[in-house]
Amino acid sequence: MNKAGGNSRRRGDALSESIYNATIELIKKGGYVNLTFQEIAQAAKTSRTVIYRRWQTKFDLIHEIWVYKTKKALGDGELIDKIKDTGSLRGDLLQLLTLYNKLYTEVGPEIMNAILFEMGQNNKKMAEITVGATNKNILVMRKLLGFAIARGEKIKKVSNTTLTLPFDLIRVEYLIRKDVIDEKRLELLVDEILLPVFLAP
């Protein structure tokens, strides 16, 4: 039995959650750039040895948080597994934006901004992750547009760069507007931007 006031030794998911939450709270208070493992260890009530044993750099930690939060938002499987035929291109695009918006909301601005910071630091690992994520997003859009083509909807031929537009829109919304993206806003993005881009007259 632990002494009164003592901390029980945490392992596995409980320890990870504590470290993740401490990291996010510290970023909220002081930003990502000056964040240290020592601060995280103190806030999570663990040791730096535990932190360094698992993550070599801050980037490794925030990337793991991003992966964890993404899985939490999507449940089993990946984004492409969640895309279903809704019966119309408008419905499919709205479904996609809703799911991607949910992902961003779950991950949170602190981790997203930290990821974006790393993207600007010539981080080789980050560059590889970005390329992989972009390729997955392109496959998601090809699946979605494939539904439309099979239904007989007229779809424009567009580049891979254009296929990433739905994902870029959500990122821009969070970076610039910094508001909660509600259903009405998602519908506007679909109706006024995405449908004219992908749907042929």
Q: 78 — phi, psi (to 5°)? A: -110, 180
65 in Cβ contact with 73 (< 8 Å): no
Supply the pLDDT for residue 119: 82
Supply the pLDDT for residue 158: 97
Supply the pLDDT for residue 113: 87
Q: Where do runs of H (alpha helix) occur along the chain?
A: 12-30, 37-44, 48-54, 58-74, 79-82, 89-107, 109-119, 124-151, 160-163, 165-172, 183-189, 195-198
Give the chain's domains with CATH numbers: 7-54 (1.10.10.60), 58-198 (1.10.357)
Q: Which residue has the tokens 């993206």?
A: 181
pLDDT in tens, the chain (201 residues): 333 333 445 567 789 999 999 999 999 999 999 999 999 999 999 999 999 999 999 999 999 999 999 999 988 889 999 999 999 999 999 999 999 999 988 998 899 889 888 888 877 888 888 899 999 999 999 999 999 999 999 999 999 999 999 999 998 888 777 667 899 999 999 999 999 999 998
Supply the pLDDT for residue 175: 78
Q: 9 — phi, psi (to 5°)? A: -75, 120
Long-range pairs for 17-22: beta carbons < 8 A, 24 or more residues apart:
18/44, 18/45, 18/46, 19/44, 19/46, 19/51, 19/61, 20/65, 20/68
**C-alpha to C-alpha distances, 4 to 1, 18, 43, 193, nearest whole angstrom:** 9, 21, 20, 60
Supply the pLDDT for residue 179: 67
Q: Quick check: pTM over 0.75?
A: yes
